[in-house]
Structures are given as C-alpha cells and as structure tokens.
Amino acid sequence: MFKDLLKLERFPTTWCPGCGIGQIMIQLAMVMDELGLNYTNCTIISGVGCTGRLAGYMNVDGVYTLHGRTLPVAEAVKLVTPSLKVIVVSGDGDLASIGGNHLFHAARRNPDLTVLCNNNQVYGLTGGQAGPTTPRDTPTVSSPAGAHYDPVDLQNLIKAGAKYFYAKTTVYHQLHLRNCVREAVAWPGFAFVDIISQCIENNGRRLGFNSAYEMLLHFRKTYKRAPEGAETLEPYEIGIVRQG
Amino acid sequence: MKRLVQGNEAIFLGAIKAGANFFAGYPISPSSEILVLAAEYAARDPGFKFIQSEDELAAANAIIGASLAGAKSFTATSGPGFTLMQEAIGYGHQVEIPTVIVDVQRVGPATGMPTMPAQQDIVQTNYGSSGDYYPLVFYPNSVEECYRYAAAAFSAAEESLSPVIVLSDAFVGHLNEVVDIDAIEVEVVPRSRPPLGTGRRFFTGLAHDEEGKPRTADAMVYREWLSKVKARHKKVAARYSDLEFKENTSTDTLLISYGIVSRVIAPLASEFALFRPIRIFPMMGVELRECAQGYEKIVVIEANDGQYACLVERELKREVIQIPLLGGRINLDLARKGLSEKLERGLP
Ligand code: SF4
C-alpha cells in the first residue's frame, strides 16, 4: 500500500489546505509502492521551503538539507551508495535560485538522481515573493508592479548536456504526473521533473483565484500534452524530452 | 620508512589512516595539494570517492551527504572557501554530522594575500556560522602533528557527532619534514551511525526532538538538545586536551602561540615560558589558567590582530599583551621586536 510509505502519525502536514505539494507526495508514494521502493533501498533528500518538509512525511530515511543544497548532498549519497535510489524533492526557489549553480553542474555531471521540482512559481513559505520561475509581470509581494524578468528556462538548462531527462507536468494531470515520476525514477541518469503546482495561500489568491480547485482547473485549461516524439516542449505543453 | 613529507600530504595521509573514504573539494591555495592527493588516491582505489565540486558550498554539503550515507568524509580549503563552508558547518552541528574540514589559512579578508600565511580564521572557526555551537578544532604545528591530528579529527568527529576542524596555515601546509609516517600510532574510532537506506529517520536542519520531528517553537526541547550537545562536546574535548607547556622559572612572562608561530618562536624558550594549545577549541580553560599561574605577564603572539588574545583575556580575566604578526610575515625578528616594544618600552 502506498500509505505505508507515509508517516501518517506525523499528519496533518504543515501545508495549507489545497496546496499542490501533498498531491506530489501521494503520486511519489504510489510510484514507490509500484516499484518496490522503501526504506531499505530508497532515500529522499529535500530542500528548504514548503516542499522541503516532504521528506519528513515519508517512511524512508529523509534529509532536509540547507536551502539550495539538496543536489550536492544527494550526489554524494549516490556516489557513496550506488545501490540506493536517491530522490530529490524540492521547490523551484530552492533548486533554481539559491541552488541554481548546483542544478547546472549536477545536470552536467549527470548523476543517477531523480529530481522532483515543485514549481509553484513563488516563494510560498516566506510569504509570496517573486522567484526564479515567476512569469514576467506577475504581481507578488516583492514585485508589486509585476515581476521584472523572464523566468528561468528550466527545460533548456537541463537539456544543455549531451544526456538529459526533462519532464514537465502539472498536479492537475495526475496520471501524467505519476507517469513522469515513474519514468524519471527509471531513468539511469539525472532526471528532472518540472511539476507545475499551486500555492493557493501565498500566490493564487493574489492572482484572483478563489480556491486551489480554480487553480487546478486553470492548469487543465492551459496545459496541453505535447505531440508524440516532440524534442522540445513548447510553453504550456506537458510531456517528456530525453536523450540517453 | 623515514622520508620527506609535506604538511598538506601528512593531513591527507592522516585522514586515510583514520579510514576516510570520501573527499569533496574546490581548488584553493594553499590547500590544493590535499584535493590533488585525494583525486589521485580515488583514481587508484575505487573504494575512495572523490568529487571536485562546483564551489565550496557544494563541497561542504557533499561531505555532509557522504557522512549520512556512511562514509568518513572530509574537505580542505582556505579562508574564503572556509567562509562559504560556514553554513554547512552550522548545519552539521544542528544535524549532528561527523565530518572533517581542513582550513589551510592565508591572509584575508576576502581574497587577501594569496597565499601568504596567516592565522586569521581563528574567530571564524569558533563562531563563523549562525547559532550556538561548540566546534572541536585542532591546530598542529609540524608535519608529524598534521598526520596525528588529521586522524584524531576523524575520531573526535565520530565521538562528538559533529564537523571537526583541522586548522593549518600556508607555512605548516607547505612545510617539508622528515618523518616516519608508519611509525606514528593513532587511535581510530569507527563509524557509528547506520547509513541512509536503513531506517525511517528524518535528518533536519530544523530544531527537532530525539525522533527527528521538527520542533520549531518549543524552547524546552531546544534547550535540552543544546545542553546535551554541549555536554557531549565538552566530554570529547577533554579526551583531546592536547597542549604544550614549557615552564620557565626565570621569567615573569608567559608567551602563548599556536600553529606556525609556535614553531617560529620556539628559540625563545630559554627566555620565556611557552604555552601552545593544540586542541585550540573549545578554549582551554582549566589548563590555561593553571599554566598561566605565577606569570605576571601574558603575551599572545599570533598571525592575526588579536583574535585568540581576546579569547585568552576572557578566559583568564586578565589583561593580555598582543603581538600581531600581520601581512604574511612571520619570523623570529618580528616576534622579538614586538616583545621588546611591548615588554621593555611599554608601547601599546
Ligand atoms: S504557502 Fe503555498 S506552497 Fe506553502 S504550503 Fe501553503 S499553499 Fe503550499
């Protein structure tokens, strides 16, 4: 049962009702259950931020690293224990901003890691500041007149090397999300899953959404599956691009 | 077999002797020999893992990950890199991670004078990260001691469950001395914590209870944790109370120095009493007070502007005369000049 992979005794989680992180956790637990991953063969490394707390709710050894430092920790764990499945779960701010240098170099070195990026396009835990993935012109508490810059291009950053795995999905598309996670876990190298999700409390409401449900419907409306065999995902396309 | 060994090499060999099997680092003079030796060793021995990291933040976090995965891990750096490692050092104390960090000091702040020798990371070593923590720090002054205390650092790390620091400087690091490495006996403490992939633990940089459950608003849990850690560090420190004291009944002055400066001023033993801490942190309290008893004047000679002197002053609750040797020039003439200015002519 996937529920055996959760520390239910530590529920309720710290997350706001309607937050997308819980859905990522459930899908991850389901994939782990399917693949026989448990505390004897898997560890979860997470960073600081709302998403970072995920490792504490899973029934495997988990590490809540310093802000931005998941990848150096995870790479070392994998190097010391190649038999262990090492899964990194963290937020967009943690992975792409404060940990950006590590992301770029980890992708280049291509260690066998699965990285799930909760991409809610904002710093949720600290109250809704603009982050590296915030779309241009989006108002946040730190960009009241709209974010000044274009967001980081995660797809092309990950695809810069000769070998790569980049998946984009959303928490609305649950089966697609689960499939992306499963494929990423099976990928023998650095596999990055960019998961669009909702931070209702510190982003969604400011953008005019009344509930997490409305945000999910918005994902349903905006994100479309990429055509079969696409080598590049267009904005608002979900799918997997890889080269081994 | 006796042979010429370099200080940095002796640190690497001491680490290997202690069972080190993981190194991550970023090149920085005057510590880079240790990184290069680790790379060569990894190329010969597949059981030894090596990462040349993208920066010192990554290196310091990699040795933490490696330690959690069950390795005996270490890194080596110098001032500016050591500054970047401070966040991981604080994390290592919060999460109780045994690992070893070698800092071969050079003149700072910032890029400073690469790579003239200095002892300017003394305060940073003890207080560089946020929060309260009680690091164990060794500062050898010879090639033999580099070997001995690099190995001791790994044992102290296991016993204290914390990142232990080995301080050196550009002179000690690049010192070549004839030693018989194999004849040096060191005690090796094995790893104790089961590696990742064996339990359902949560290792977190958040304040937490015994079960690893975050307790971020509970003062009692925090205080109990901190006092437990403090007591453990004190106990381990007592096991490594290594110092050198040369009494001198013909003088009223005690000179305190450590690392390379203690080597340089060794010829002053006929004129002054000498005290040298080897386990430089936690501060030697009882030992220092005992040795200082009966000496009217206490002088600290060091290659920084009074960093250790202030701590000695606080420990002894007496005024301490400071002789800073700055700008990478560390020699006996300068030490003598400082002594005559301060002791004979009474200059401030
Ligand atoms: S602040 Fe946002 S990201 Fe954090 S738990 Fe709440 S909804 Fe989720």
Q: Show me where the domains of chain B are located.
A: 3-239, 244-345
Q: Which residues of B touch A79 (CB under 8 A)?
A: 22, 49, 51, 66
What is the pLDDT at residue B272?
98
Q: Could you tell me the distance, in angstroms and rounded to a whole number, from the CA of residue A178 to the centre of ligand 1?
A: 21
C-alpha separations of B293 from B241, B248, B282, B296 in Å? 18, 12, 20, 8
* Distance of alpha carbon A133 from alpha carbon A125, whole angstroms: 15
Residue pLDDT, tens place only, A109-150: 999 999 999 999 999 999 999 999 999 999 999 999 999 999
Cα of A110 to nearest chain B Cα, Å: 13
Q: Is A201 in the pocket of ligand 1 (CB under 6 A)?
A: yes
Cα of B46 to nearest chain A Cα, Å: 11
Q: Which domain holds residue A201?
A: 2-6+16-243
CATH topology of domain B244-345: Rossmann fold (3.40.50)
User: Which residues 22-51 of chain B have a CB within 8 Å of chain A?
Assistant: 22, 24, 49, 51
Q: Is B204 on the interface with A (CB under 8 A)?
A: yes
What is the pLDDT at residue B149?
98
Q: Is A125 in the pocket of ligand 1 (CB under 6 A)?
A: yes
Q: Is A6 in the pocket of ligand 1 (CB under 6 A)?
A: no
Q: Could you tell me the distance, in angstroms and rounded to a whole number, from the CA of residue A120 to the centre of ligand 1?
A: 9
Residue corresponding to tokens 């001198």: B248
Of B61, B68, B198, the CB nearest to A72: B61
Q: State the best of A38, A61, A86, A101 to mutate against chain B, taking most chain B CBs within 10 Å.
A: A61
Here the tokens at position B179 are 């030693």
Mutate which of A24, A202, A203, A214 for ligand 1? The one with the most ligand atoms within 8 Å of its CB, which is: A202
Q: For the sheet containing B297-302, what is the strand order?
A: B243-246, B273-277, B253-256, B297-302, B321-324
Here the tokens at position B273 are 């009493």
Closest ligand 1 atom to the C-alpha of A118?
3
Average pLDDT of adjacent 10-residue blocks, chain A of 244 residues:
95 96 98 98 96 95 97 98 98 97 97 98 95 96 95 97 97 98 98 98 96 98 96 97 96
ipTM: 0.96
Q: For the sheet containing A42-46, what is the strand order?
A: A224-225, A237-243, A164-170, A191-196, A114-119, A85-91, A42-46, A61-64, B202-204
Cα of A43 to nearest chain B Cα, Å: 6
Closest residue in B to A48 (Cα) is B205
Q: Do A84 and B197 touch (CB under 8 A)?
A: yes
* Distance of alpha carbon A70 from alpha carbon B61, whole angstroms: 8
- Residue A141 is given by DSSP the state T
What is the pLDDT at residue B345?
83
Q: Do A76 and B64 touch (CB under 8 A)?
A: yes
Instruction: For chain B, give the number of residues.
Output: 348
Of A39, A53, A77, the CB nearest to B200: A39
pTM: 0.97
Q: Is B54 on the interface with A (CB under 8 A)?
A: yes
* Residue A11 placed within a domain: no
What is the pLDDT at residue B344?
87
CATH topology of domain B3-239: Rossmann fold (3.40.50)
Residue pLDDT, tens place only, A161-181: 999 999 999 999 999 999 999
Q: Do B213 and A56 touch (CB under 8 A)?
A: yes
Q: Do A81 and B213 touch (CB under 8 A)?
A: no
Q: Could you tell me the distance, in angstroms and rounded to a whole number, from the CA of residue A198 to the centre of ligand 1?
A: 8
Residue with CA nearest ligand 1 atom 5 = A15
- Residue B105 is given by DSSP the state E
Q: State the best of B26, B51, B54 to mutate against chain A, taking most chain A CBs within 10 Å.
A: B54
Instruction: For chain A, give the number of residues.
Output: 244
The closest alpha carbon to A61, from A91, A41, A32, A35, belongs to A41
What is the pLDDT at residue A224?
98
pLDDT tens for chain B, residues 1 to 348: 999 999 999 999 999 999 999 999 999 999 999 999 999 999 999 999 999 999 999 999 999 999 999 999 999 999 999 999 999 999 999 999 999 999 999 999 999 999 999 999 999 999 999 999 999 999 999 999 999 999 999 999 999 999 999 999 999 999 999 999 999 999 999 999 999 999 999 999 999 998 889 999 999 999 999 999 999 999 999 999 999 999 999 999 999 999 999 999 999 999 999 999 999 999 999 999 999 999 999 999 999 999 999 999 999 999 999 999 999 999 999 999 999 999 988 887
Percent of chain A past pLDDT 70, that is, above it, reads: 100
Of A53, A69, A79, the CB nearest to B61: A69
**CATH number of the domain enclosing A74:** 3.40.50.970
Q: Is A68 in the pocket of ligand 1 (CB under 6 A)?
A: no
Closest residue in A to B23 (Cα) is A76
* Count of the separate structural domains present in chain A: 1
